[in-house]
Amino acid sequence: MRNKKYIDIPDHARRDFIKWTVGLGAALGLRPWKIFEINESVVGPAVAQQASCSPVNRFVGNVMGNGGLAWITQLWPFVDQATKGGSSSFYMTGKATDQAVDAGDHPFKLGPDAPTFGGKKMTGFIAGSNETHTTRPVSASTVATGIGMFAAVSALQTASPTLVPSIGIGQLPYGNAAGAPAIASVASPAGMVDLFNSASSTAGGALVSAGDASLFEAYYKANLSLHRAAARPTMTRGYLTGKVAANLLGKNLASQLQPTPQDLMRYGITANTSAKLQTIATTLITTVKAFKLNLTNSVMLPGMQDDPHGAFADMATLQSTVKALGQIWESFMNDLMLEPDPMCAGSKIGDNTVIAWVGDTLKDPNQSSGWPDGTPGNSNAMWVLGANQLRAGWFGQIKGDGTLETWNPTTGANMPGGSSTAMAGPASAAVLFAIAKGDMRRVQDFYRGAGLDGVVKLKQM
């Protein structure tokens, strides 16, 4: 058989092609699957698959204020912190292992209880400044003056609309960015469940009857189909959200989002588990369920918030806490990798999720006694699981002798000294790059700093 010849479209033009064909198809009243079939026949299955997949990744942001970020150094320590011994603030000196290193990656250590994430690799950035004893740290997650990373993430994610675009547990530092939707702030993980618990479907509600709920949904969609503007590309996003809302209005999703006893057992949560760990676990359990139903793209949660100055004075509790924290994050990714991505055929939700850990202070990596809040060069850091969009390993370091290294975003090279605060913009932009699945043009809507070639995986032209 003769191989079919497809029209060759360079990678940088594919997104425009997809946007135009989807828009034209909507204007002509074509079903999405029909558009993808046509794309495949003209430009091949690779472009068609890209068209049928969301252009952005999901996001989970763990904001670990009041000294809580220091716990992350026990899962993923600095290289010297893990190996130095003596007064170094690491709970199992010499027992950390090396993360795999590919071309362009830097060395990175995995603590004995660190989640493996199924082989997905971690990136660490020296970024931001020490903000000791605040629960709303912002220095490491600032893209540029007046632009917050979390808000910019949500702005990018509007390319793939959901019912509640961004959710925050408690009062967390969302920030500002052009086009960012308002964040839905709730007081607790239970409040996150309540966001999708329709009052109309509960006892006494107008749509408590399943028949009434179905009738309302059918009426809404039929009325929409008669609206001339419904097929306009500029209107489809709002109407898509409306269709989802109409479907959900008659449903009570509490049972689908609420953590079950089996969930809690899998995450290692018992009646004796501390509240700080329970909050992280129950939020992540509900997040998996919300991602599965495509109800939201972004979840921010608080982490630990416990200022662990005396952690190394009680090694048994320290070790059990680190072990529990690692199990929670490992179970979260395991759950994500069990679920097919409803917005990207052929992949799992975990393949398309970016996670970032930021906080007020990581504490002194070289001093375990009293675990002081101060850091060399007033530095801070951000840890990122970048959905295979970022180079892995440590960009910048805190050395065993107390000196600081920063990094060059364009080359990726670590450099002695420098300003940790100045690295926040490139580090936050790298997160945006991962969210945008490598679309640098979208990142440049918010970031105009140095090139990121040394820390991101640029697509081959």
- Nearest one of 406, 318, 192, 316 to 183, comparing CA atoms: 192
User: Which CATH number covers residue 399?
Assistant: 3.40.720
3-state SS assignment for residue 79: helix
pLDDT digits (tens, 9 = 90+) for 204-219: 444 344 444 444 344 3
Whether residue 411 sits in one domain with residue 320: yes
Is residue 427 a part of any domain in this protein?
Answer: yes
In a domain, 424, yes or no: yes
Q: With a cut of 60, say whether residue 69 has pLDDT above it.
A: yes
Whether residue 291 is contained in a domain is answered as yes
Our measurement of the distance from residue 291's CA atom to the centroid of its chain's CA atoms, rounded to an integer in Å, reads 11
User: Within this chain, do residues 87 and 165 fall inside the same structural domain, yes or no?
Assistant: yes
Inside any domain, residue 449: no
Domain match, 229 and 274 both:
no
**Looking at the structure, do residues 98 and 118 belong to the same domain, yes or no?**
yes
Q: Flag whether 456 is in a domain.
A: no
User: What is the domain range of residue 239?
Assistant: 199-249
Give the model's pLDDT for residue 70.
Answer: 98
Instruction: Quote the pLDDT of residue 40.
Output: 57
Specify which residues 184 forms β-bridges with.
167
Q: Do 24 and 166 lie in a common domain?
A: no
Averaged confidence pLDDT in the chain: 85
Beta partners for residue 44, in sequence order: none
Percent of the chain with pLDDT over 90: 71
Assess whether 67 and 183 both reside in one domain: yes
Shared-domain flag, residues 226 and 369: no
3-state SS class at 334: helix
Residues 244 and 266 in one domain: no
Q: Are residues 408 and 284 in the same domain?
A: yes
Let me know if residue 454 belongs to a domain.
no
**With 70 as the cut, is the pLDDT of residue 347 above it?**
yes
How much is the pLDDT for 219?
A: 39
Residue 301 shares a structural domain with residue 398: yes
Distance CA 416, CA 393 (A): 17
Domain's final residue, options 227, 249, 271: 249
The CA distance from 458 to 438, in Å, is 7
The winner for highest mean pLDDT among 3-17, 225-239, 405-419 is 405-419
| Pair (315, 363) in one structural domain | yes
- How many structural domains is the chain composed of? 3
What is the predicted pLDDT for the residue at 162? Answer: 87
Q: In this structure, what is the dihedral angle of CA atoms 105, 107, 109, 115, given to the nearest 10 degrees?
A: 10
Q: What proportion of the chain, given as a percentage, has pLDDT over 70?
A: 76
One domain, residues 306 and 387: yes
User: Considering the domain boundaries, does residue 88 fall inside one?
Assistant: yes
Query: The whole model's pTM is what?
Result: 0.82
Residue 409's nearest CA partner among 156, 127, 144, 141 is 127
- Given pLDDT bands bounded at 50, 70 and 90, which one contains residue 161? confident
Q: Of 208, 225, 249, which residue is a domain's last?
A: 249
CA dihedral 17, 22, 23, 27 (to 10 degrees): 140
Q: If you average pLDDT over residues 244-248, what whole number do you get?
A: 48
Residue 6 included in any domain: no
